Amino acid sequence: MEKHPWFLDLDESVLPRWDRKALEGCKPEGGGCIRGQGRVGPMRLWRAVNNRKAEEVRRLVEQGDSPNEVEAAGNTPLHAAAYQGWVEGIDLLLQLGAKVNASNNAGDTPYHTALYMGNEEAMLALEKAGASKASGKVLVQEHVPKVKEFYQKECWSHHPLPYSDFVEYKKEERKALEKARQFVIRD
């Protein structure tokens, strides 16, 4: 067990709370997710995009689902449409408010996803909508151990802080481990 883990140095008063807004990613341009373990949101819109159901996509957004909902790797439904080369879905999601330059945890935007998959029509549709060819910032999910002073380092100054409930969980986990270490195992 680390003598002084990274999460003990955080000012808890400035940590963000996990809420519905977090479902839309943690990067200013959209996308990205530091949650990283398990399902982040309801994923209804994702299923509609993956099944290429335009009317379902429209209905879900009109009922309140966000066109910028992220999954654990920080991808948005626009990434999914770009991956498939579903130009109708790309146009629809953009019309419904999807952020064209949202980037996932690796820094890839929907444009990069279309590029990697060789979906030229999708690339053109995204470019027409103002997609940048520049990569976004890389994110490290909150459950991944951090080097000492991670959040103070200039190269990671763009990185969002972990959510307060995660830090509380880590502190409780540490207390339980310290308590367990006090017991001596006997034959």
pTM confidence score: 0.82
User: Looking at residues 99-126, what average pLDDT do you find?
Assistant: 97
- Does 21 have pLDDT greater than 80? no
Enumerate domains of the chain plus CATH numbers.
20-144 (1.25.40.20)
- Residue pair 108/139 in contact by the 8 Å Cβ criterion: no
CA angle centred on 61, ends 83 and 100, rounded to 5°: 45
User: pLDDT higher for 155 or 91?
Assistant: 91
Residue 55, pLDDT score = 98
pLDDT-based confidence at 83, cuts 50/70/90?
Answer: very high
pLDDT at 185: 66
Q: Give the model's pLDDT for residue 184.
A: 65
- Mean per-residue pLDDT of the chain: 88
Burial 135-144 (b: 16+ CB within 10 A, else e): ebbbbbbbee
Tokens of 69: 């909902």
C-alpha–C-alpha distance, residues 103 and 81, integer Å? 14
Residue, of 148 and 131, whose pLDDT is higher: 131
Rounded CA gap, 128 and 147, in Å?
Answer: 41
Return the percentage of the chain with pLDDT > 90, whole number.
Answer: 49
More confident residue, 90 or 4: 90
Asked if residue 62 has pLDDT above 90, the reply is yes
